[in-house]
Every structure is written in C-alpha cells, then in structure tokens.
Structure 1
Amino acid sequence: MIKERKISLQGQDHKLSHTDRQISILENLAQVSFADQLEGLGQSSFKPTGIDVFQVNMGKMCNQVCKHCHVDAGPDRKEIMTRETMQLCLDALDQSDISTVDLTGGAPEMNPDFRWFVEELSSRGKHIIVRCNLTIILANKKYHDLPEFYKKNKVEVVSSLPHFSARRTDAQRGNGVFEKSIEALKMLNAVGYGLPDAELKLNLVYNPSGAFLPANQAGLEADFKRKLKEGFGIDFHELYAITNLPISRFLDYLVASENYEDYMQKLIDAFNPAAVDGVMCRNTISIGWDGYLFDCDFNQMLDLKINHGAPSHIRNFNTDLLSSREIILNNHCYGCTAGAGSSCGGTVVNEG
C-alpha cells in the first residue's frame, strides 16, 4: 500500500540535496518497505551469493540525454573515471577470480582512457561487456572504428534500443536517435556482431517509455527480431527487458507528471518473491566513476555506498569482506522484483 503523501522534489525538503530528497521520497511512501517484504520471506539478512560481475561506471558524460536515464547522464556531465582509478580496478581484479567486467556510463566510450582499459582487461582474459548507446559510434569520426575495436577485443556489446519504430525511440532518446541507431547496428552486423551462431554477441535493451512495466521479454524479443530483420536486415542475439527504477531522471519525470504513487503501487503489487534470488546485487559489485563501491548501479546513483564493515572504495577491495557484506536496500528495489524481475541481463524469472 502507498501512504497518502503529497510528493515534491522541491517543497519543504528544499535544504536537502537532490539525491537526499529522492531517498526521502522512496523511504516515506510505501507502507510496507522492501526490507519488510524480504523479512516476511524469512530473509532479514540480504547477502550476496558471490561476486561474478565487476560493473564499472566509466563516467556520466554522454552524447545523449534520455528521459528515463537513471544516471542523469548527458554532454554537460564532467564526472569521469581517471586512469589511476582504472588501475585500482585492474589491481582488484588481479587479486580475485572475477571473470566478467561490465562497462557502463554515460557513454563509456567517451572516457579518454576507455580503449586502454578495455585492452588491459582483454589482456587478462576477462569477458568484457560494453553498454553502448549505439549513436556514439556515429557521434564523431574517432568512434567510427568502435565495431572493429570491439571485435578485436572480443567485447560483448549490449545496446539500448527503446523500440523498433522511429517515433517511439526518438520520443525517449531524442530526435534522429533511431536512424543513427539503425546505422550503428548495421555497422556492428557488418563486422560479424549479432549474426546467428556468431561468437560476437550483440544484445539489445528495452526500457518502457512510460510509467508501466515491460511486457513479456520473450514476446518483445520475437517482435524486435522480426521487425528489425524485415525492415532493416538487422540481426541480434537477445533482447533484455529492463524495468525503469524510480530514481534520478525517471523519478523526476514520475513526480512532475504525478505518476509516482501509481507507479510505485504497480511495483509493489507486482512484487514477485521468485525474483528475489536473481537480482543483480546478489552477484555483482558496482564501481562508481570515483572508485566508490556499491551493491548495484541503482544504489550508486542514490549514493548508497556499501557499508556494514565492508570496504567502500576500490583501493581497499577485499573479495572475502565484500562477498559477505549486507546489501543496502531501499524501496526502489521493488523495481528489480516486480513481475518477472529485472536485472542488467533482463528478466530474472522464466515467464513461461
């Protein structure tokens, strides 16, 4: 149930930072907190199953300004990971057996040391994932060879594409984004990405464009594959349907459009206990652009750092302590356990 409360990101909380106001909204709206939901399932302590994925935010600079962006990324953002912090990440990886490194942004490719970091990871035999917004490939001539660079380093490319129509994609991501995304996908296909049975993996990400949950992932994937192949000759491997979490730019939209209470109620009503074990914080550690550690990319954007005795910065990385840490929860976590669940790899529960 949702508490009766007038929601504002301004109002009486004007002395708080934007992030603190968002946390205040999340904490005070739901009558049954996410932590209480887990306690009702007998999980008063929520801990990782291990650390399989090392997710690194390369910076908040981006060539796009998307309406749903939980990072609040854009061309005006100056936060960027330094090579020194990247080296700390490499040092941490060298002392662990973590095999997968997931590079995010913003547009991670805009970090001036992005290619150096990828090559260092590749030389260590890591499975590298890059979250590419596609249009970055066409943003400047210096990015035009990214498909070949990815291929050389055996990078898995995960790309956002809100829809297979120009109208719906551009409405979420900006005018002309769909056309550029299609051209970039063709460039990736041309070097072997996304082709049937190809080792060069190309996966797409779908986020709903409004205040509702994503449809069935398998059905969406089938529609995307048919429409992109018939309309543009494009192939890809999988489609990930990811729920928009009520934080950052998307939370601002929900509040401004007076959809916040209804959206949170949808997430709470759709809470699925079967999704709890598959949420990404159970096997992932998230590293901010400045080296601070978080349970997930969403906690990172709310500045909810790892604590309870576990190291909070990459310079103090300790696999054993981090693997036994207590995961920080708040009510935005309902977004990861609604319906079929949601993670960086799409739904977490078989939808049948």
Structure 2
Amino acid sequence: MHATLPLLEQTDFPPLYRNELAVLQVNLGYLCNLSCTHCHVNAGPKRTELMDKETVGLVLAFIEKEAIKTLDLTGGAPEMNPHFRKLVTKARQLGVKVIDRCNLVILEEPGYEDLAEFLAANQVEITASLPCYLEDNVDRQRGKGTFQQSILALQSLNRLGYGQENGNLRLSLVFNPQGATLPPAQEPLEKAYKAHLRDDYGITFNQLFAMANLPIQRFGSMLVSKGLFNDYLQLLKDNHCAENLRYVMCLNTLSIDWQGYVYDCDFNQMLQLSLGAYADQKIHLKQLFGRTLTGAPISVRQHCYGCTAGQGSSCGGALI
C-alpha cells in the first residue's frame, strides 16, 4: 500500500496553451519486469493493465489520419505488451519515428532474446533508463543485479550499431536522481557517463537525458512516507525557470493511456487530470479524430514545477 499523496488541486503554475500536435506518447500498459523506486507509473510484474489490439489499431489510425510525426512508446515495459511489435512495424511503415522507452533489463529476459534485433531492424530509437553509472546505486534503485544486466544489454545494442556517433540507430540514456534533489547539469554529467561506460565497459551512446523525479505515484508516496513531500515541492517551485515554459513537452505532445484515454502529459495521466481542452471530461482518442487542439489550454497543477525547475526536465532531458 502506498501513502496517500497530498491533493494538488490548487496551483499558481503559469497557464500553458497547445502548439501543433507532433508527438503521440502511448503507454502500452503498467506491466513491467522491474519495480523501480523512482517510477512515476507504479509499474511492476504484478500489474495486469495492457493496451488491447483494438486500441492499438485506433492509435495507428489516429497517427495516419492526423499525420503524427513521432510515436513515443512507454509503460511499464512497453515491449511486454503482446501487440508491441505490430504497433512498431506498422508505425514505421507509415514513416513515423518510433521511440522505445526501454529499461534495458527487458532485453536480457527469457523470451525477449531477439528484441534488440527487432528494434534495430526497424530503426527504432531507444531511450534507455540507466539512473546511474555506478552499480550499487542502480541496484538500490532498480533491484539487485539490474546494473550488470543493463551493461550486457547496452553491449548487445552497441554490437547491433546502436549508439555510434554517426550512425542511424540512436541510443540515449536517462538519469534520475536517487532522492529528493534536482538532477545535476546535464552536459557535464553526460561526459562523466560517457567516459565511465567507455573506459570500464566499452559502451558508447549518443546522448544523456537528465530528468527530474516528479512527486507522484511511487516516488511521491516515498516522499510522503519520509515527510519530504512539501519540502520537495517547494524545492521545485524555488527553482522555477520561466524560460523553460517555451519548451515543455506538453506543448506538442498527447499522452494516451492503456485504455485509449487522452491526457496532456504522462504525469497528468497518472493523476487522472482531464485534457485541458475538455476540462472535467474523460476524453478518449476516438473523440479527437479531425479535431484541432492548437491553442487549447493545458491542465496544470503543482507537479508541473518538476518540468520547469532548474535546467528543466522532459522526456528529452534538460530543456535549457
């Protein structure tokens, strides 16, 4: 049982309005082979929620009809959805860039031995979670043995051509802080990651994304249990940078949950915050065909300061 999070109904976060839609971020379900302490989705091996075949078909139809440029797949472990490969293959046939938010360990699990080859064959961009380059820290955050499995997976990806400086198979890594702190500056941290992984394991990758932990779901519950929730929220507010408002991911992205319901971002999805364009209504993807959201308001609450604090944070790492 997770601690109840404080309500975030009131906010002084600045209003945001949508730009043209370019990215569809689709959560294929909460089933995962890991149970990471920083997970904002509360994913794990015992979760049963998975997007079904019909909803996957609806996602593909929306991508084609609305000329979506990027399909960003997340979970849980998105690869554990039985329709993952069909969705990837069809989206690539439509000329859409596909991003797989991969926990790396899944590539080493029984039954997924050919997954890396499938991703490479379809030129899927991999954004992989590796919350630290030190074994003890990773195992503490994600479970014993996960660091070594991640290293093996990265080495396999490198052998397939991922992570090469001038290659067409992009491999990005994701850093998350261990506790109630903001991530350090992304550029010097990336240099440290690259040097350590190259020198110790012969691993190369393209880019590091330094992401802040948002005070929701499993991470938020941990903050509440330790009496740190209000302090962390104040830390985010104290470090708010208005310039980041121009680059937050919700401006051009829609988040789709495993049932096909639509939200302004992945974090709002976890809080069940209605799409800002349709306040207080639960909107399904099938209701948005042919409708423009450009200029519509975005639902914001106090957790949004997690995206604008310091260097900013998005699914593509630091904003400035």
TM over 0.5: yes
Contact 2:277 2:293 (C-alpha < 8 Å) held by counterparts: no
Counterpart in 1 of 2:49? 79
The DSSP-based 3-state class of the residue aligned with 1:54 is: strand
Q: Distance in 2 between matches of 1:318 and 1:234?
A: 43
Q: Distance in 1 between matches of 2:49 and 2:79?
A: 14
Equivalent residue in structure 2 for 1:90, among 47, 60, 71: 60
Counterpart in 1 of 2:27? 57
Counterpart in 2 of 1:337? 308
Contact 2:125 2:169 (C-alpha < 8 Å) held by counterparts: yes
Contact 2:264 2:276 (C-alpha < 8 Å) held by counterparts: no
C-alpha RMSD of the superposition: 1.5
Residues 301-310 or 46-55, more deviating: 301-310
Shift of 1:319: 5.3
Counterpart in 1 of 2:12? 34
Q: Distance in 1 between matches of 2:246 and 2:182?
A: 20
Normalization by structure 2: what TM-score? 0.96
Shift of 1:137: 0.6
Larger radius of gyration: 1
Q: Which amino acid aligns with 1:259?
A: L
Residues 313-322 or 55-64, more deviating: 313-322
Counterpart in 2 of 1:125? 95
Shift of 1:284: 0.4
Name stretches of at least 5 consecutive residues in structure 1 with no aligned partner: 1-8, 11-20, 39-43
Residues 88-97 or 106-115, more deviating: 88-97
The alignment status of 1:255 with 2:233, answered yes or no, reads no
Equivalent residue in structure 1 for 2:258, among 282, 285, 289: 289
Q: Which amino acid aligns with 2:185?
A: N
Q: Distance in 1 between matches of 2:126 and 2:276?
A: 32
Give the total of aligned pairs.
317
Counterpart in 1 of 2:112? 143
Counterpart in 1 of 2:82? 112
Q: Distance in 2 between matches of 1:308 and 1:323?
A: 10
Contact 2:55 2:259 (C-alpha < 8 Å) held by counterparts: yes
Q: Distance in 1 between matches of 2:126 and 2:85?
A: 14
The DSSP-based 3-state class of the residue aligned with 2:8 is: helix
The alignment status of 1:168 with 2:137, answered yes or no, reads yes
The DSSP-based 3-state class of the residue aligned with 2:283 is: coil
Counterpart in 1 of 2:298? 327
Q: Which amino acid aligns with 1:335?
A: G
Q: Which amino acid aligns with 2:208?
A: L
Shift of 1:66: 0.2
* 1:156-199 deviations in Å (ceiling 9; x for gaps): 00000011110011111110000000000000001000012111
Contact 1:69 1:248 (C-alpha < 8 Å) held by counterparts: yes
The DSSP-based 3-state class of the residue aligned with 1:291 is: coil
The DSSP-based 3-state class of the residue aligned with 1:27 is: coil
Percent same amino acid at aligned positions? 45
Q: Distance in 2 between matches of 1:240 and 1:254?
A: 23
Shift of 1:323: 2.6
Q: Distance in 2 between matches of 1:195 and 1:34?
A: 43
Counterpart in 2 of 1:152? 121
Q: Distance in 2 between matches of 1:34 and 1:128?
A: 35
Contact 1:270 1:338 (C-alpha < 8 Å) held by counterparts: yes
* 1:25-54 deviations in Å (ceiling 9; x for gaps): 3336xxxx333xx2xxxxx5x211111111
Shift of 1:307: 4.8
